[in-house]
C-alpha cells in the first residue's frame, strides 16, 4: 500500500487526468468510482490495475487488493481531487478498458437480438440502454463511433453494473453496422415516427433494432437501409418518447418473441 497526502503527487495528477475521455482511451483504462460501481465491477470479475481509497476506507482497499494490483490510500483532500462526485464515497478502481472490436456473435438458436445505437449523446440514456440489453439478454449493443463513450463515468454509474456484462461493439458508422448484420442474415428494424405500428408489425428473430440520436433521430440513409420501420403508438399528447424509453419498449417486444 502506498499512502499519498500531497495533491501535487504525480499519481494523484494521473488519476485526475483519467476523467478526460481522450486520456482514458489513450491509456486503455476506465476510472470507476463509488461503492456500488466498484463492487459491481469486482463481482463481474474485473481485476483492477489500481485500487484507490481514502484513509477511512483503507480496510476495503486492503481486502480488495491482490498482489498484482497497485494500491493507493489517499488523504481526503487528495481523493476529492480525483473524484467526479460532489460527495465522494472514498472508493475507486482503475481497470483495463474492455475490447469493443469483437465481431457479431450469434447464439446458435436463431433467437439473436441486437440493439444498435446511432450517435447517442446522453450518458444517462446510454447507461440505461446498456442496462436494458443486459435485462433482456441481448447478444450485443452495437454503437457508432460518434456515440458517447460507453466507459464515461456517468454511463458506468447509470448502467448499474450492466456495463461489465454486456458485449459492446463500436463501429465507424451505421452503414458498417448494417453491412455486418445483413451479412449474417439479420433483419434490421428502424424506430421512427412514420413506421408501422409496433404492435402490428411482422417481426421475426433474429433481429436488430436501431435507436437514433436524441435530438435528430435516425439518419434518413440509415432508415432507408433497414428492413422494417416501426413506431410506438402513443395515445397521449407527447410527440415522442425518450430514446431509452423507446429502446426499452421495442426490446421487450423482441425478447417476448423468444418464447
- Under CATH, which architecture does the 113-256 domain have? 3-Layer(aba) Sandwich (3.40)
Q: With beta carbons less than 8 A apart as the criterion, state whether 81 and 115 touch.
A: no
Pairing of strands 113-117, 207-211: parallel
* CATH 3.40.605.10 is right for the domain spanning 2-96: no
Q: Distance between CA 239 and CA 199 in Å, rounded?
A: 18
pLDDT over 90 at 234, yes or no: no
Helix or strand holding residue 142 (H, E)? strand 140-144
pLDDT in tens, 28-81: 999 999 999 999 999 999 999 999 999 999 999 999 999 899 999 999 999 999
C-alpha cell at 79: 481523493
Q: Distance between CA 220 and CA 226 in Å, rounded?
A: 10
Q: Distance between CA 89 and CA 10 in Å, rounded?
A: 22
Choice among 3-7, 84-88, 202-206 with the minimum mean pLDDT: 84-88
Confidence of residue 194 (pLDDT cuts 50, 70, 90): confident
Domain ranges of the chain: 2-96, 113-256
Mean per-residue pLDDT for 155-171? 95
- Positive or negative, the CA dihedral 158, 47, 11, 29 is negative
pLDDT in tens, 89-146: 999 999 999 999 888 989 999 999 999 999 999 999 999 999 999 999 999 999 999 9
Number of continuous H segments (helices) and E segments (strands) in the chain: 10, 11
Amino acid at each position: 500500500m502506498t499512502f499519498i497526502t500531497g495533491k501535487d503527487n504525480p499519481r494523484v495528477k494521473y488519476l485526475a487526468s483519467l476523467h478526460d475521455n481522450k486520456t482514458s482511451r489513450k491509456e486503455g483504462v476506465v476510472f470507476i468510482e463509488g461503492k456500488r460501481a466498484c463492487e459491481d465491477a469486482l463481482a463481474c470479475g474485473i481485476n483492477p490495475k489500481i485500487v484507490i481509497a481514502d484513509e477511512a476506507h483503507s480496510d476495503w482497499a486492503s481486502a480488495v487488493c491482490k498482489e498484482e494490483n497497485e494500491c493507493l490510500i489517499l488523504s481526503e483532500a487528495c481523493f476529492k481531487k480525483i473524484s467526479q462526485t460532489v460527495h465522494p464515497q472514498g472508493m475507486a478502481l482503475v481497470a483495463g478498458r474492455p475490447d469493443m472490436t469483437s465481431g457479431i456473435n450469434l447464439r446458435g438458436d436463431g433467437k439473436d437480438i441486437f440493439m444498435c445505437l446511432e450517435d447517442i449523446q446522453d450518458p444517462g440514456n446510454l447507461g440505461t440502454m446498456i442496462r436494458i440489453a443486459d435485462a433482456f439478454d441481448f447478444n450485443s449493443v452495437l454503437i457508432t463511433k460518434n456515440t458517447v463513450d460507453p466507459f464515461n463515468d456517468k454511463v458506468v454509474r447509470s448502467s448499474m453494473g450492466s456495463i461489465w456484462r454486456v458485449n459492446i461493439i463500436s463501429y465507424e458508422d451505421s452503414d458498417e453496422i448494417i453491412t455486418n448484420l445483413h451479412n449474417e442474415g439479420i433483419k434490421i428494424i428502424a424506430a421512427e415516427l412514420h413506421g408501422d405500428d409496433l404492435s402490428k408489425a411482422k417481426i421475426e428473430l433474429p433481429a436488430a433494432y436501431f435507436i437514433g440520436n436524441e435530438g435528430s433521430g435516425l439518419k434518413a440513409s440509415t432508415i432507408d437501409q433497414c428492413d422494417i420501420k416501426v413506431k410506438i403508438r402513443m395515445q397521449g399528447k407527447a410527440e415522442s418518447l425518450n430514446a431509452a424509453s423507446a429502446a426499452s419498449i421495442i426490446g421487450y417486444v423482441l425478447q417476448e418473441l423468444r418464447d
